[in-house]
Amino acid sequence: MPKARNYKREKAVEDAKGSARKKARAARNRARRKAGLKVGDPRTVEHKDGNPLNNSRSNLTTKSKSANSRQGGMKGRKKRASKRKTK
């Protein structure tokens, strides 16, 4: 017979995921406000150090969506070493 579902636990897990999403969205909105972007502005906010929770004004710059996507999203993150061996 299948194991009974624990609905209380499932709800707690979903609530935890939802609060993380809300926190991330709130951080993005704070960054947009501090950078001076209005609702509907096509530009995006870039964090110079790559930390999306660091919303100090000196850490924020604005870029067009195309310039931001060209960057590749690796600023401030360590690149992984290639597994290929060179001769």
pLDDT digit string (tens) for 24-80?
888 888 999 998 888 888 888 888 898 888 889 899 988 887 876 776 655 555 555
pLDDT of residue 86: 61
Confidence of residue 87 (pLDDT cuts 50, 70, 90): low
pLDDT of residue 65: 78
pLDDT of residue 64: 86
Residue spans of the domains in the chain: they are 7-70
pLDDT of residue 69: 72
As given in the structure block, the two tokens for residue 10 are 């499932």
Beta strands in 1-87 (DSSP E): 44-47, 60-63
Would you say the pTM of this structure is higher than 0.85?
A: no
